[in-house]
Amino acid sequence: MEAIGNAGSAIGILSKDGVVLVGEKKVTSKLLQTSTSTEKMYKIDDHVACAVAGIMSDANILINTARVQAQRYTFSYQEPMPVEQLVQSLCDTKQGYTQFGGLRPFGVSFLFAGWDKNYGFQLYMSDPSGNYGGWKAAAVGANNQAAQSMLKQDYKDDISREEAVQLALKVLSKTMDSTSLTSEKLELAEIFLSSSGKVKYQVCTPDDLSKMLVKYGVTQPPAEA
């Protein structure tokens, strides 16, 4: 839990037309080469994605496990795996590591976002003990208590996806350790249904993120030269 408390925070918000995940990338040193791949958001299957807080090497193992389970289910039943079933099977793996000596638990918390035909859009949070629960809005990582209480105040039941993005960015800007939010420090991903009714997972580009931050008044527009 200590490792998760020090990791960059991640926020998930469930809206009526999708699920929004926003993560803070911790820039530990300016000498560090920032990776081009996403480090907080991972696609598990076409209909499920997750945001991660904690030890990345532990997360990679669990994400691979989840991807294999999702593919096995699709191969066996010719349909996407229900989101909760996938979360539960991953949490069973996590729980096993808390039960016996000689192993340490996975030091990672997940926010799972997904859609299935049984329950529509869903957001789940799981911790190292293997406990998980369905949430309307949740935060993991650094300052998650402060973020959680802000979400509790500002979340509305019939929130739209755009409002959810705005709320997530606002909460992150108020609870992040660093003073200013920039697109380099953020990752934003959404799960929604496309016009053809297919589930779509979309990661926001840095340019779009910068525009969003200015649009919602989180950062000031760059001064004209």
Domain layout of the chain by residue ranges: 2-215
| Residue 55, φ and ψ in degrees, nearest 5 | -80, 115
Burial of 1 (0-12, 13-18, 19+ CB in 10 A): exposed
| Predicted TM-score (pTM) of this structure | 0.92
Summarised one tens digit per residue, pLDDT across range 100-159 is: 889 999 999 999 999 999 999 999 999 999 999 999 999 999 889 999 999 999 999 999
Exposure of 17 in the CB half-sphere (CA atoms within 13 A) = 10
Reading the block at residue 119, the tokens are: 């329950």
Residue 51 predicted with pLDDT over 50: yes
End-to-end CA distance of the chain: 46
Please name which of 24, 43, 49, 22 lies closest in space to residue 204, comparing C-alpha atoms: 22
Please state, for a pLDDT cut of 70, what percent of the chain lies above it: 94
Architecture of domain 2-215: 4-Layer Sandwich (3.60)
Per-residue pLDDT tens over the stretch 55-94: 989 999 999 999 999 999 999 999 999 999 999 999 999 9
- Structural contact between residues 83 and 120, judged by C-beta atoms closer than 8 angstroms: no
Q: How is residue 216 annotated by DSSP?
A: T
In the block, residue with structure tokens 């500002």:
154
